[in-house]
Structure 1
Amino acid sequence: MVPRLRSFIGTILIIFLVIIYALVATTVATLMLATSPWWIHFLYFLISGLLWILPAMLIIKWMAGPKLKK
């Protein structure tokens, strides 16, 4: 696959990942953490704020892919 196309597809995937992940994380927080103490909120948002990086790393690794030889 052409690196340019791979980068475009990866960029679109990362945008969708961030939007969907933010919506899901906020919905879970709203439904589950409404009456929780502040430190539970802090831990949840700390962990969920860092957790999206794992799938994004896989997409970026795929985007880098094998280099085409000339």
Structure 2
Amino acid sequence: MTARTRRFIAAIGTVAFLAFYIWLVTVIADVLPDSFWIDLIFYPVVGIAWGVPLIPLLRWAERG
């Protein structure tokens, strides 16, 4: 498989994952109680956590 094909597959996978992730985060955020402290913890955690599952995909796309 060429590098260009791997990058294209990774781009499609990233967009699909982020669409699902954003939907999931909004559903969870709607269920959580309305509290400043919960928001203060929840949003930074989910704002960072989206990158962790994408690391293997991006490494695969960029390998030689």
Taking structure 1 as the reference length, the TM-score comes to 0.84
Gaps of 5+ in 2: none
Gaps of 5+ in 1: none
1-structure distance, mates of 2:24, 2:51: 15
- Tell me, what secondary structure is at the counterpart of 1:57? helix
2-structure distance, mates of 1:23, 1:55: 16
1:15-69 CA distance string (max 9 Å, x none) = 01111000001101101x1x3420111210110111010012111101012x2xx
Taking structure 2 as the reference length, the TM-score comes to 0.91
Question: Which has more helix, going by share of residues?
Answer: 2
Misfit runs of 4+, over 6 Å? none
Identity of aligned residues (%): 25
Q: Per chain length, whose mean CA-contact separation is higher, i.e. which structure has more relative contact order (CA < 8 Å, sep 6+)? A: 2
Aligned residues: 64
Higher Cα Rg: structure 1 or 2? 1
